[in-house]
Chains A and B, each alone.
Chain A
Amino acid sequence: MTSAISGPIAGPSHDTRPRFAAVCGRNLRVDYSGTLALDGVDFDVGAGEVVALLGHSGSGKSTLMKALTQMAPATADELSIGDTPVLAQHGRDLRALRSRVGNVFQHFNLVPNLSALTNVLTGGLYDAGPLNRLGVFNSAQRRRALELLDWVGLQDRAGQQTRTLSGGQQQRVAIARALMQDPELILADEPVASLDPRLAGSVLRLLQRIASERHIPVIVSLHVVDLASTYADRVIGLHSGRVVYDGAAAALGPDEVIQIYGDGGEFGDDGRAA
């Protein structure tokens, strides 16, 4: 199968792994030992689309993302990324699927005492040769990692340990690591929750740019409704593990926000429960 994705930062074309066009979930359920984190969720995400997940903490946003790479114990009538049925993948096939999904995390999850360049290179571990066990990546991989650092504006920080970088810089390194995977889906779990508003905007613009340039779906969970309205094409609102809103981000109004978050006052439902 040939790549449906191309762009200025696309990787080498010798890859023969299956390519994904979009994401689809039907009756997706995640049960954490009796606690239903997702309860029959239906959703679709198109290629090139930025979809924001909104909802309270514990509403199921992170779980939905984890389910997409079998990081959560999911069952579903259908859960697919492109042509690949997620839940049918095991062992090396599952690793192959994961290698096609770039993840961006709230706390960046970089290895703090490795350089920015090595952290980016770890995004290509699935494809790396046997020498990488000795810490040796080939020159093509190193060049590509440098290009990606350049693309996120951090080539001059390539040799710096990531623990010495600012939050915004660390998140950009994490995005470069995700791009090193040559991903066909990006999952960003609260990627701006640890950043100030200015850096949050720059990170979300970067994700927007990735979606449009590479024509891949980007699913991003957010806590700020305004950011979702500004940077996402569509919003999926979750409440207690169920979809309560699925529509254009531009159409998100106060009623829809109440639908997603409830009208529990300053502390939402948590406050009421207390």
Chain B
Amino acid sequence: MTTVEQPETTREHEERPAHEERLSESDLRRLTRPVRMPGIGGTVAIVTVVVAVLWSMNGADVDGERFVSGVPRMWDFLSRLWPPDFGRLDTIIRLLIETLQMAIIGTLVGALLSLLLSFAAASNISPRWLYSSSRMVLNILRSIPELILALMFVSAVGLGPFAGIMAIILGSMGSIAKVYAEAMESVDAGPLHALESTGASSRQVIYYGILPQAAPLLTSYTLLLFEGNVRGATILGLVGAGGIGMELTTAMRLYDYGHLSAIIISIVVLVTIIDRLSAVVRRRIT
């Protein structure tokens, strides 16, 4: 039997690692690119989004030319807001405090009721039938705008902040109960399994396993809700449901631009303070 010396290149080919034989140079380049060209699914998604945007622009009468021609009028409106007139600052402060109070009560009661509802809406806590029905209730609540709720309560309990508080409570439930439920669903299941394996009851598993794990998120979401409710409470007055919104609408109707400007600046200051404080607390707990 004779041995034939193989050419150098063939030996090199034999010594190449297996993965290099399976993946070509172009495959390797493609796989190691941070951004890849979209495949069929990605292309379909992009086309769908583009079509949806064009369809919406057409339906909603979005017109670039009209926007450009409207800029001088917007500038005219903004220039009338200067200088702000803080002559009725006491009224503004009184109404801002009322707005804040509405947000505080609405958030606390709304958060408490949302927490109760979220137990029913969390798939790792409640049975299927309860989960489905409570999710449906939450979807209905979420689909009703807070201003509509405020209108409903104004006609039920009359003008004033109480109607606004009721609207905030229901609006809070619609927006936050589902988020609470999802925070509870996202907790690590390991500790729950461990508690269950010690013979703990379902209620004990919720109390010692789910709530402590979800607490930082629940608190953070409640603070975000509060921030949103402070902003929301400022416009409920548009329909007579208390807060500074009514004063704002009146100033606009009377072309009292100085006062309007002072109200807007005061709202911005209040909302900024609340947002900053809330952000500090959220940073500390998460």
Contact = CB atoms under 8 A, between A and B. Distances in A.
A171 interface: no
**Which of B190, B191, B199 lies at the interface centre, i.e. has the most chain A CB atoms within 10 A of its CB?**
B199
Nearest to A94: B199
Contacts of A113: 212-213, 215-216
Nearest to A110: B191
Contacts of B197: 69, 71, 98, 101, 103
B196 interface: yes
Contacts of B216: 113
Nearest to B214: A113
Contacts, number: 75
A58 B132 CA distance: 34
Contact of B190 (A95, A107, A135): A107
B209 interface: yes
A111 B198 contact: no
B214 to A, nearest CB: 10
Interface stretch (A76-84, A120-128, A253-261): A120-128
11 contacts: A97-B199, A98-B199, A99-B198, A103-B197, A103-B198, A113-B215, A113-B216, A128-B204, A133-B204, A181-B198, A181-B199
A126 B215 contact: no
Most buried by B among A99, A105, A125: A125
Closest 4 CB pairs of A and B: A99-B199, A126-B199, A109-B194, A109-B190
Contacts of A262: none
The SS class assigned to the B binding surface is helix
B191 A111 contact: yes
Contact of A111 (B199, B203, B208): B208
Interface string B199-237: 111011001110011011000000000000000000000
Interface in A119-146: 122-126, 128, 132-133, 135
B209 A111 contact: yes
Interface in B129-148: none
Contacts of A69: 197
Contact of B207 (A96, A112, A135, A177): A135
A132 B194 contact: no
Contact of A95 (B194, B199, B209, B213): B199
B195 interface: yes
Interface of B: 188, 190-191, 193-201, 203-204, 207-209, 212-213, 215-216
A97 B196 CA distance: 12
B201 A95 contact: yes
Interface residues of A, number: 33
Contacts of A126: 198-200
Contacts of A135: 207
Interface of A: 69, 71, 95-103, 105, 107-114, 118, 122-126, 128, 132-133, 135, 174, 177, 181
A123 to B, nearest CB: 5
B204 A98 contact: no
Contacts of A95: 199-201
Contacts of B208: 111, 114, 118, 122, 125
A110 to B, nearest CB: 6
B193 A123 contact: no
Contact of B198 (A114, A125, A132): A125
A105 B212 contact: no
B198 A96 contact: no
A59 B198 CA distance: 25
Contact of A105 (B190, B196, B201, B204): B190
Contacts of A110: 191, 194
Contact of B194 (A96, A103, A118): A103
Contacts of A125: 195, 198-201, 204, 208
Residue among B191, B193, B194, B198 with the highest chain A CB neighbour number at 10 A = B198
